[in-house]
A = this chain, B = another copy of it.
């Protein structure tokens, strides 16, 4: 059993993907988790799955984590604050200013509430998609406000660190502006692009490659959830969409006559601006910029990959990431490995000496 900061019991309200994952993660650390969900089906799946136990009379949770849809978050938080007058309450909704304002309007005791938002998720929802490791290495925002003492807010920090997430402190406004940019506006942009695909013939869609698939992947998201998120964060989302539309208008002007003086330069600048923007995304983008990647060609025979990894281990180079590309019908596979940049030269030399083919 791994040591934990929280002592528990922790009450988790809402046994969907996030609630179940929190329960699983805390149970792994031996913390008593009490689950609550309006759906008996969700409830029994999550309990069977090992995410926690059913409530019992006299339960006195130290901490309550509300994991329900954004629209009902404030109401449920208020009810929990009232029902458990000694507990600290947090929520995990993906907007943070609206619930806080609503709680203030409801006259709830926000000296025991602090909102939070784990930036983690999966394409599939529901308790069965829950994973104890869902939050590991992911940012988890604590939306600080003045109405709660440092000591009380500490319980939320413990929750986040116990689940292996990276604690990020922001004001609710900073949080909402940030997720508008990196989550909510990309969702709208992707959904509207996917909507255009309704208007093409099948023959056109058959030409689709990885590019349009990537751009529209999140367009498969749940409309019901997104109405709630976008409705609760409408002002920052609108501001960014208006700026996006202004760029789009300029682009449409330029492309209306690409032979006009300056038109090609303007088109190039918009695309180059995209290069600069995407390079600001931290960490790996397909690949991690702290690491250098190299590609080794292997024959498509059993044991080749295991042998390669064994020999990389012998050379004493630490593998940061690995991806096997295997094209059906091809007799070779391409193994893309990421290592520290300073290790590339030596590893290349050692692998070539052992007969491996380095593709680049």
Contact = CB atoms under 8 A, between A and B. Distances in A.
A306 B297 contact: no
What DSSP secondary structure best describes chain A's contact surface? Answer: helix
Identical chains bound together, number: 2
A85 to B, nearest CB: 33
Contact of A224 (B188, B195, B196, B268): B268
Interface in A171-227: 174, 177-179, 181-183, 185-209, 211-221, 223-224, 226-227
B205 A131 contact: no
A67 B348 CA distance: 31
A170 interface: yes
Contacts of A195: 247, 270, 273-274, 276-277
A313 B302 contact: yes
A214 B281 CA distance: 11
Contacts of A147: none
Interface of A: 119-121, 123-124, 128-129, 131-133, 136-139, 141, 164, 166, 168, 170, 174, 177-179, 181-183, 185-209, 211-221, 223-224, 226-227, 230-231, 234, 237-238, 240-245, 247-249, 251-252, 255-259, 263-264, 267-283, 285-286, 288, 297, 302-303, 305-306, 309-310, 313, 318-330, 332, 334, 359-360
24 contacts: A119-B209, A124-B360, A129-B360, A137-B327, A179-B204, A181-B204, A182-B197, A182-B204, A185-B196, A186-B212, A194-B275, A196-B277, A206-B282, A215-B218, A220-B274, A220-B285, A223-B275, A230-B255, A241-B251, A241-B252, A245-B248, A283-B328, A321-B326, A323-B323
